[in-house]
Structure 1
Amino acid sequence: MGKSNRAPGVRRAEIKRILRTKQAATVEELCSLLGASPATIRRDLIALEKSDGLERSRGGAAVPSLREAEQNFARREARDAEEKISIAEALVSRLTPGSALFLNDGSTVMAVAKVIVERNIDFFVATPAINVASTLTASPKITACLLGGFVRATSLATSGPFAETMVSQINADIAIISPDGLHPEQGLTFANAHDASLARRMADQSRHVMVVATRSKLMSISRVSGLPINRVHELVVGCPLAEVPLPISQQIRDIVSAVEAQ
């Protein structure tokens, strides 16, 4: 087995994701999934038992009952997981160290945060996502700013006027936005009106707007439009460029395929 090159914080975040999805896992299973040694996994489980209330057993670990929002997020993380990781790796490779970034929330954004930590790059990152901000603190090179606001019971992020006021005080280089849907006519769409409003404010406060989207989100329309597609400077997708629908590729000049960038 090759030695894992993941930072401890990233590896532990992955352990939490796996356990939230599976409820329990053995040390052997975690070694196989993460490419780490048994000794490394056991050290991680000891640390997570202290910091996150993990229930450790002799042969593995389990998580206590999760809140509905945590269960929902774990399911979203597990969906198209490899595609999200490839998108994150392609996107981070295009970022300039030292940049000020906005990240909204979501499982693809979480993948971006993990890659940033793994590569140990210097960034200032402002985000409404509580779990994303927590993940980013694993790297001493990252300044993580959690946007204040109302925490919705159905999500792991803040929103509302307080969060938007904080965004309006930050001048970012890049807004990295993961919408619930991307459509040539409806633009970036979101299931929640507050998420749409916050994404719009992030774009207004940034010099450059990058959108990340799995193949399933292309041509999809969610409930609320956040910003028009012509506000997008770059789109990073997890499918070949040939699979990007023509109405979208005609409107976004710079599209990066994560699978072709590998």
Structure 2
Amino acid sequence: MHPSPRNPSRRRSEIRRLLLTREAMSVEDLSQALSASPATIRRDLAALEQSEGIQRTHGGAVVPGVRPAEQDFAFRESQDVAEKRAIAEAAVSLIAPGSTVFMNDGSTIMGVAKAIVATGLDVFVATPAVNVATKLAENPKATVCLLGGFVRHTSLATTGPFTETMAAQINADMAFISSDGLSAEGGLTFTHAADAALAKCMVAHAARVIAVTVTPKIGRNERITAVPAAQIHEIITGCTDEAKLRPLKSAGVTIRNVAP
């Protein structure tokens, strides 16, 4: 599904994401990708040149000096788009106004952040993700707490003991956790120890734990278990593979399927 040509903000956000992913695109390619006229795309590029540092070229645009982390994140955002959007909408529907929420980092979490902004929800969110916090700040009703710590250049998120100490002071109504893998045997699993440690801390200080997980991660076990399956209250996923879901259901985890 493409952003509505009549919604300039969403269209320009998508243009920036496409440019980050591909580094350079022509007006013609952007016009086809977004179902918008070339004249509209040119106006968007002119606006983005002023606000986002996009560099216009003859017949298109590039993103100069793209950081590897930004480019990698834009690529991940381009995967499983419909599923992530459905997960985000379901996640936000669970948040009562005035709630305190933990959100870790990742492209699926960014989808939840965008949905919170779109709904204008009154919410307190604590997150280590610099880009997620920046997005949430677009919602004037959201109180955004960026968990302090060392910024890992590969993930655009803070990490380490300072981050965990700050998170431990917050009593959350729910924690939305995106992991590198999720299985009945390993629970929420991560590649990096620091990511696992923060997820574990968030879960310990949240009344409800909700895993937001795209299909490719279901059934996958990564290096480090942060949260056993028994501690997960609900999984929001678009996975329809019953063979993958059956062990999680047998473990007593509620699964909210949002297959797009």
TM-score by length of 1: 0.87
**Whole-Å Cα distance in 2 between the matches of residues 228 and 207 of structure 1?**
16
Pairs within 5 Å for 1:2-21: 8=9, 10-21=10-21
Which residue in the other structure is 1:167 paired with? 167
Which residue in the other structure is 1:50 paired with? 50
My pick for the range that moved more, 210-219 or 119-128, is 119-128
**Whole-Å Cα distance in 1 between the matches of residues 98 and 27 of structure 2?**
37
Corresponding letter in the other structure for 1:205: H
Q: 1:24 to 1:229 in 2, by over 3 A?
A: same
Alpha-carbon deviation of 1:195?
0.4
1:143 paired with 2:143, answer yes
Q: 1:118 to 1:39 in 2, by over 3 A?
A: farther
Which residue in the other structure is 1:74 paired with? 74
Corresponding letter in the other structure for 1:218: I
Corresponding letter in the other structure for 1:154: T
Pairs within 5 Å for 1:54-203: 54-57=54-57, 59-203=59-203
Q: 1:235 to 1:5 in 2, by over 3 A?
A: farther
SS at match of 1:207: coil
SS at match of 2:208: strand
My pick for the range that moved more, 29-38 or 210-219, is 29-38
Corresponding letter in the other structure for 2:86: S
Deviation sequence 1:163-211 (CA, Å, 0-9, x none): 1111011111110000100121211100110000000111111111110
**Whole-Å Cα distance in 1 between the matches of residues 12 and 165 of structure 2?**
33
Alpha-carbon deviation of 1:45?
3.5
SS at match of 2:212: strand
SS at match of 1:175: strand
Q: 1:144 to 1:34 in 2, by over 3 A?
A: farther
SS at match of 1:124: strand
Q: 1:159 to 1:7 in 2, by over 3 A?
A: farther
Identity across the alignment (%):
51
1:213 paired with 2:213, answer yes
Whether contact under 8 Å (1:235, 1:252) holds in the other structure is no
SS at match of 1:246: helix
Whether contact under 8 Å (1:234, 1:252) holds in the other structure is no
Q: 1:37 to 1:208 in 2, by over 3 A?
A: farther
Whether contact under 8 Å (1:167, 1:202) holds in the other structure is yes
Q: 1:44 to 1:117 in 2, by over 3 A?
A: farther
Corresponding letter in the other structure for 1:125: V
Alpha-carbon deviation of 1:158?
0.5
Q: 1:26 to 1:161 in 2, by over 3 A?
A: same
Whether contact under 8 Å (1:100, 1:123) holds in the other structure is yes
**Whole-Å Cα distance in 2 between the matches of residues 30 and 93 of structure 1?**
32
Q: What are structure 1's unaligned runs of at least 5 residues?
A: none
Which residue in the other structure is 2:229 paired with? 229
Q: 1:90 to 1:7 in 2, by over 3 A?
A: farther
**Whole-Å Cα distance in 2 between the matches of residues 68 and 138 of structure 1?**
24
Alpha-carbon deviation of 1:145?
1.5
Alpha-carbon deviation of 1:7?
8.0
Corresponding letter in the other structure for 1:233: H
SS at match of 2:154: coil
SS at match of 2:16: helix
Equivalences, count: 259
Q: What are structure 2's unaligned runs of at least 5 residues?
A: none
Deviation sequence 1:230-251 (CA, Å, 0-9, x none): 1111100112374543111112
TM-score by length of 2: 0.88
Q: 1:155 to 1:247 in 2, by over 3 A?
A: same
Deviation sequence 1:35-56 (CA, Å, 0-9, x none): 6676765565444323432113
Alpha-carbon deviation of 1:212?
0.8
Whether contact under 8 Å (1:241, 1:257) holds in the other structure is no
**Whole-Å Cα distance in 1 between the matches of residues 76 and 175 of structure 2?**
22
